[in-house]
Amino acid sequence: MNETTHDIIIIGGGPAGLTAGIYSAREMFDTLLLEKTICGGLAADTDLIENYPGFPEGINGRELMVRFKEQAQGFGTQVVEFKEIKKVEPLEGKIKIETDKETYCALAVIIASGSIPKKLGIPGEERLRGKGVSYCATCDGPLYKDKDVLVVGGGDAAAEEALFLTKFAQKVTLIHRRDELRAARIFQERLQKNKKINLLLSHIPLSINGRDYVDSITMKDLKTNEEKKIEVCGVFMYIGFLPNTKFLEGIVELDNLGYIKTNEKMQTSVPRIYAVGDVRSKNVRQIDVACGEATIAVVSLRDYLIERRRKL
Ligand code: NAP
């Protein structure tokens, strides 16, 4: 096995991980960032980010994340993509990290592994995944030009992506299980004003139908108990996310949903392991919040690492 020791290893290349890379490399720490797929995280799947400060016209998510990555690499962070972490093991004075093939060691680790879209688990969802069932409107939306599509969910993501889909689709039905949306007021107002949006509150999906491709969805009106079927070619799921923490079970303390518990310095239950961004147990998940947490983690580690390096 090929073993390397770094000052900081960052797990995850979304906004939080890349910001940790920028701050860590600027402190001249030997910084390695390992990303499971390609850098950018969920932010890179967003067409237009309007609430990240400094871009009054908004900015494409992929473009913003490419800039984050260039900035981290520019200061010296080594970014390695397509490295999935299987195990994190705290040892005396260092932390060992394993992929299928490699072992890395670091004096400190910052976990920024983010989250993955939640599945509904209804009939047809898995079978028709990629055949009309999608978890990424930015990736698949353009395939639905002049077609009817449906979005499930009532949060910011469902509202934002439903609005994005109106650029292509003829009609976008948004169904939400409660009688009020969770999404920010600005999104709610835009949904109301958009003539292509058909908002169905108090509705739940029961099954996604179609032989080879999605052709309809069956849903239930929770107020009347009536079941109805509507014809759609695409179903986009935005019902929240699940944390990427499987590889950390039994290592750091998690909350009952699997998110990582930290203190205000972003330190987990294990010394020298920090957690930042969407994977952290908290209420507000935004890009600028993720960036702030990454900054706090690196600054909190700074004195320890300088002292450790002096002793090595
Ligand atoms: P979210 O805020 O957790 O909303 C998930 C939505 O899905 C909720 O409306 C929830 O209903 C619904 N839902 C959950 N499980 C369901 C089920 N089994 N069946 C039917 N509906 C279900 O998730 P999100 O919208 O993906 O956002 C995640 C985080 O990212 C949030 O903090 C959000 O603010 C942030 N975000 C921000 C932006 C932005 O600022 N531009 C964009 C996207 C996301 P209930 O409301 O009844 O619980």
How far apart, in Å, are the Cα atoms of 83 and each of 38, 43, 185, 237?
Answer: 9, 19, 39, 27
Quote the distance between the C-alpha of residue 146 and its chain's center. 29
DSSP string, 243-265: ES-GGGTTTS-B-TTSPBP--TT
The reply to whether ligand 1 has any atom less than 6 angstroms from the CB of 220 is: no
Question: Position of tokens 């930290």?
Answer: 262
Helix or strand (DSSP H, E) at 303: helix 287-311
Is residue 172 within 8 A of residue 151, CB to CB? The reply is: yes
How far apart, in Å, are the Cα atoms of 33 and each of 10, 16, 99, 212?
Answer: 5, 11, 13, 40
Is residue 84 within 8 A of residue 264, CB to CB? The reply is: no
Which domains, from first to last, does the chain contain?
Answer: 5-116+241-311 (3.50.50.60), 133-237 (3.50.50.60)
List, for residues 71-98, the tens digit of each pLDDT value. 999 999 999 999 999 999 999 989 999 9
Average pLDDT over residues 136-161: 94
Identify the three-state secondary structure at position 32.
strand
pLDDT interval class at 1 (50, 70, 90): very low
* Beta partners for residue 171, in sequence order: 148
Averaged pLDDT of the chain:
95
- Please tell me the predicted confidence (pLDDT) of residue 139: 83
The reply to whether ligand 1 has any atom less than 6 angstroms from the CB of 240 is: yes
| Closest residue CA from atom 37 of ligand 1 | 156
Q: Best of 138, 156, 188 to mutate for ligand 1, by most ligand atoms within 8 A of CB?
A: 156
pLDDT interval class at 3 (50, 70, 90): low
pLDDT interval class at 58 (50, 70, 90): very high
Query: How far is 24 from 294, CA to CA, in rounded Å?
Result: 9
Name which of 23-27, 68-72, 301-305 the model is least confident about: 301-305
User: Is the pTM value of this prediction over 0.85?
Assistant: yes
Is residue 104 within 8 A of residue 96, CB to CB? The reply is: yes
Average pLDDT over residues 132-150: 93
Burial environment of residue 301 by CB neighbours within 10 A (0 to 12, 13 to 18, 19 or more): buried
Query: How far is 154 from 166, CA to CA, in rounded Å?
Result: 16
Query: How far is 206 from 202, CA to CA, in rounded Å?
Result: 13
Query: How far is 76 from 26, CA to CA, in rounded Å?
Result: 8
pLDDT interval class at 5 (50, 70, 90): confident
Is 139 a catalytic site residue?
Answer: yes
| Closest residue CA from atom 15 of ligand 1 | 239
* Active-site annotation holder among 7, 30, 47, 140: 140
Give the ligand 1 atom nearest the CA of 241. Answer: 26
The reply to whether ligand 1 has any atom less than 6 angstroms from the CB of 83 is: no
Query: How far is 122 from 119, CA to CA, in rounded Å?
Result: 8
Give the ligand 1 atom nearest the CA of 117. Answer: 26
Q: Best of 163, 182, 186 to mutate for ligand 1, by most ligand atoms within 8 A of CB?
A: 182
What spacing in Å lies between the alpha carbon of 190 and ligand 1's midpoint?
Answer: 17
- Please tell me the predicted confidence (pLDDT) of residue 309: 81
Give the ligand 1 atom nearest the CA of 153. Answer: 7
List, for residues 239-288, the tens digit of each pLDDT value. 999 999 999 999 999 999 999 999 999 999 999 999 999 999 999 999 99
- Please tell me the predicted confidence (pLDDT) of residue 161: 95
List, for residues 194-246, the tens digit of each pLDDT value. 999 999 999 999 999 999 999 999 999 999 999 999 999 999 999 999 999 99
DSSP string, 70-107: HHHHHTT-EEE-S----EEEEETTEEEEE-SS-EEEEE
What spacing in Å lies between the alpha carbon of 241 and ligand 1's midpoint?
Answer: 8
